[in-house]
């Protein structure tokens, strides 16, 4: 498990599910949302003197400071769209552009690691948007299923898990992070040279100059241990250069990413929270799909749905995408075992069914069983079992099931089938 | 077209990171790439109350600036007028921030915000209670010399600027 905790997208160009893209989108969007909401526009505009004058052009002219407030509002709204994967192409461009500009405005007063990392965040958003059509587990992905025929939807649900999903944006984000980290050891090679930089004396000075901000108990011991200091310095060089080298040589990147987490944690504990943003960026490489699979339920269930209901088949596509264990067998009234169809309690054209060890759960209860299958949706399943929620939910399900032809595209005509196929 | 975008992107990313330059938003992440000198010079902002007691500046009072960045530029590049205006701004921001801390909100805005890089010198309600009204802003030049085979730091402070609301800037002697 540990060697594959983070994914080298140069070695593994495709995955069995699009979960990693969805996980990365949510982590990146949450970072932008938190960072963006924390930008104090008033403080940006009221400083009387610009420190970094060559970026002053990013500031709006006097009397137009309200533009930044509007930008911040649009950034937050756009980021919410980005997080859920709605119109990702345009929302990622808008979010990237607005976050870049606000970072530029902030940079006029704060040229340093903080705004460097924010700029890197904006670049990651741009990269994500460039290949957003690969992000199937999103609102856009669900919308795209509306272009598929009934036949295709049925085939997608019922075929074995042979789907492969490209992750080009995550591969480019890995490359971006690798290049960014490798910049430091490259610069140190030319000046002052790796030997001089990694000496115990030099590393001790880095620690001492900003002091022990959190009062770490072992700080004095570390500063007085030359071999330990040299070891830390060498490890720093190795993990910074190692991410790019591991990625390009298609070796596992997990040891390097864990090393970088360790390096940033050590810096945070000794000299300050200088690289907090990088934690978010490294998390983009997390193997969300493997964690998801290891936490998913082991039980095998059968789902029987109405194979003529377009709305039903579209609604079930996300469950198919996150079923990385292949624990769900999908059937409609034409393919289901006779034992299910002959059951007096079962009416497939009226409601969907989930069979657990042969026991049928229909309608609202069927969805509750489906949600119970996956770690991300277990809380929903638990909430659905609360009596008031269940009372409302059952009514809602009955209403939708009874009126799905009226409100959604449900019955499929032959003309539609021919047109789409 | 998309491959061209990716190609341009990678070139724009590699060049600043190798050359150590910034082509915003393509920035370089070359950090701690130097060999530290025997003595490092930093600056420190302190606020003075009516009794003459000094309090080191809480970085959160002067967002989005990092105080040590203020003073590097301040000491080397600013004109007298720019220093005066900056001092005045810092003073009123600090007073406003103190009022905010002493108003004891149930949930502090700063607690919900993205954590800042500087985690030291955080003012608290009880600490601020010990101080009278703020009257003056001072900047010290701090020389940190590494001693005892780089296991300790000897610190020397020299007051370089002082400002009070009457608008006068004075340059003071070593303390």
The interface pTM score, or ipTM, of the predicted complex is: 0.91
Same domain, A75 and A208: yes
Q: Is residue A347 part of a domain?
A: yes
The answer to the question of residue B175 being in a domain is no
Tokens representing residue B126 in the block? 């009880």
Query: For position A415, what pLDDT does the model report?
Result: 39
In a domain, A140, yes or no: no
Domain that holds residue B127: 34-170
- Final residue of a domain: which of A288, A323, A343? A288
- What is the 8-class DSSP label of residue A56? G
Residues B166 and B80 in one domain: yes
More confident residue, B63 or A261: A261
Note whether B129 and B52 are same-domain residues.
yes
d(CA A86, CA B83): 48
Under an 8 A CB cutoff, do A184 and B35 touch?
no
DSSP lists the bridge partners of residue B141 as: B43, B158
| B 62-121: CB under 8 A from A | 63-66, 69-70, 73, 78, 82, 85-86, 88-89, 93, 113-120
| Residue B54 touches chain A, beta carbons under 8 Å | no
Q: Is residue B77 within 8 Å of B52, Cβ to Cβ?
A: no
- Domain total for chain A? 2
> Are A250 and A381 contained in the same domain?
no
Specify the pLDDT at position B171: 63
Q: Are residues B14 and B56 in the same domain?
A: no
- pLDDT confidence of A218, banded at 50, 70, 90? confident
Mean pLDDT of A270-281: 90
Cα–Cα distance for residue pair B6/B48, rounded to 1 Å: 54
Q: Distance between CA atoms of A110 and A25, rounded to whole angstroms? A: 27
> How many Å apart are CA B82 and CA B89, to the nearest integer?
11
Same domain, A354 and A256: no
Q: Summarize pLDDT for A37-79 with one digit per residue, the tens.
A: 999 999 888 888 888 888 889 999 988 999 999 999 999 999 9
Mean pLDDT across the stretch A404-417? 54
pTM: 0.92
Is residue A335 one of the residues assigned to a domain? Answer: yes
DSSP A189-202: HHTT-HHHHTSHHH
On whether residue A155 sits in a domain, the answer given is: no
Q: Are residues A229 and A361 in the same domain?
A: no
Q: Are residues A174 and A251 in the same domain?
A: yes
Give the range of the structural domain holding residue A307, as residue numbers without chain letter. Answer: 296-420
Q: Does B15 touch chain A (CB under 8 A)?
A: no
**pLDDT number for residue A172:** 97
Residues A47 and A120 in one domain: yes
pLDDT class of A420 with cuts at 50, 70, 90 = very low
User: Which residue carries 């905010």 as its tokens?
Assistant: B100
Q: Check whether residue B20 and residue B88 sit in a common domain.
A: no
CB contact under 8 A, A110 and B5: no
Residue A366's nearest CA partner among A320, A421, A413, A301 is: A301
Q: Which residues 316-375 of A have a C-beta within 8 angstroms of B?
A: none
Q: B62 and B11, same structural domain?
A: no
Residue with tokens 């990092």: B66
Chain B positions in Cβ-Cβ contact with residue A201 (cut-off 8 Å)? 146, 149-150
Residue A112 near chain B (CB below 8 Å): yes
| C-alpha span between B163 and B74 (Å, rounded) | 13
Same domain, A254 and A352: no
Closest approach of chain B CAs to the CA of A228, in angstroms? 13
A43 belongs to a structural domain: yes
Say how many domains are in chain B: 2
DSSP A159: S
Rg (C-alpha) for chain B, rounded Å, is 20
Does residue B132 contact residue B50 with C-beta atoms inside 8 Å?
Answer: yes
Give the angle subtended at the CA of B165 by the CAs of B163 and B169, to the nearest 5°: 30
Last residue of some domain: A254, A288, A322?
A: A288
Same domain for A192 and A108: yes
Same domain for A174 and A80?
yes
B38, B100: one domain = yes
Same domain, B148 and B127: yes
Domain boundary among A265, A288, A311: A288
Confirm or reject contact between A383 and chain B (CB < 8 A).
Answer: no
Do A107 and B24 lie within an 8 Å CB cutoff?
A: yes
State whether B60 and B130 are in the same domain.
yes
């Amino acid at each position: 498990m540990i060697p594959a905790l983070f994914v080298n997208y140069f070695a593994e160009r495709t995955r069995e599910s699009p979960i990693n893209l969805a996980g990365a989108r949510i982590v990146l969007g949450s970072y932008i949302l938190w960072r963006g909401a924390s930008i104090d526009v008033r403080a940006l505009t009221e400083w009387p003197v610009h420190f970094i004058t060559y970026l002053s052009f990013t500031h709006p002219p006097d009397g137009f400071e309200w533009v930044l407030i509007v930008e911040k509002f649009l950034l937050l709204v756009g980021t919410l769209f980005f997080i859920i994967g709605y119109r990702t192409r345009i929302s990622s461009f808008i979010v990237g552009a607005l976050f870049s500009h606000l970072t530029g405005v902030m940079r006029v007063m704060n040229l340093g690691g903080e705004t460097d990392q924010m700029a890197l965040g904006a670049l990651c958003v741009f990269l994500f948007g460039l290949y957003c059509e690969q992000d199937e587990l999103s609102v856009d992905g669900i919308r795209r299923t509306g272009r598929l025929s009934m036949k295709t939807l049925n085939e997608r649900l019922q075929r074995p898990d042979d789907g492969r999903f490209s992750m080009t944006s995550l591969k480019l984000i890995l490359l971006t992070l690798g290049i960014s980290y490798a910049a430091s050891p490259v610069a140190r090679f030319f000046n002052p040279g790796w030997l001089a930089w990694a000496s115990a004396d030099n590393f001790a000075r880095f620690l001492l100059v900003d002091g022990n901000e959190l009062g770490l108990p072992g700080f004095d011991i570390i500063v007085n241990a030359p071999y330990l200091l040299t070891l830390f310095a060498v490890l720093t060089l190795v993990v910074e250069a190692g991410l790019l080298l591991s990625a390009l040589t298609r070796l596992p990147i997990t040891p390097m990413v864990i090393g970088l987490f360790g390096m940033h944690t050590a810096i945070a504990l000794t000299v300050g929270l200088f690289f907090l943003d990088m934690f978010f960026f490294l998390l983009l490489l997390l193997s969300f799909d493997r964690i998801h699979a290891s936490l998913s339920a082991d039980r095998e269930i059968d789902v029987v749905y109405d194979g003529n209901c377009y709305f039903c088949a579209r609604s079930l596509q996300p469950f198919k995408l996150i079923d990385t264990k292949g624990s769900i067998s999908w059937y409609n009234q034409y393919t289901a075992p006779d034992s299910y169809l002959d059951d007096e309690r079962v009416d497939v054209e009226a409601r969907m069914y989930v069979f657990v060890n042969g026991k049928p759960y229909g309608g609202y209860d069927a969805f509750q069983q489906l949600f119970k299958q996956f770690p991300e949706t277990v809380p929903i399943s638990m909430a659905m079992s609360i009596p008031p929620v269940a009372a409302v939910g059952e009514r809602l399900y009955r209403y939708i099931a009874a009126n799905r032809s009226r409100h959604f595209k449900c019955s499929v005509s032959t003309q539609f089938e021919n047109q789409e196929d | 077209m998309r491959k061209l975008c990716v190609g341009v992107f990678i070139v724009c990313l590699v060049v600043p990171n190798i050359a150590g330059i910034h082509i915003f938003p393509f920035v370089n992440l070359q950090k701690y790439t130097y060999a530290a000198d025997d003595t490092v010079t930093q600056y420190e902002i302190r606020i003075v109350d009516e009794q003459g007691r000094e309090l080191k500046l809480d970085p959160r009072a002067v967002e989005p600036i990092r105080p040590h960045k203020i003073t590097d530029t301040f000491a080397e590049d600013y004109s007298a007028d720019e220093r005066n205006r900056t001092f005045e701004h810092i003073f009123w921001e600090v007073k406003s921030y103190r009022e905010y801390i002493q108003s004891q909100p149930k949930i502090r805005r700063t607690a919900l915000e993205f954590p800042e890089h500087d985690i030291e010198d955080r003012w608290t309600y009880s600490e601020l209670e010990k101080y009278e009204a703020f009257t003056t802003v001072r900047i010290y030049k701090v020389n940190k010399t590494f001693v005892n085979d780089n296991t300790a730091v000897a610190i020397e402070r020299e007051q370089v600027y002082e400002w009070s609301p009457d608008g006068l800037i004075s340059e003071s002697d070593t303390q």
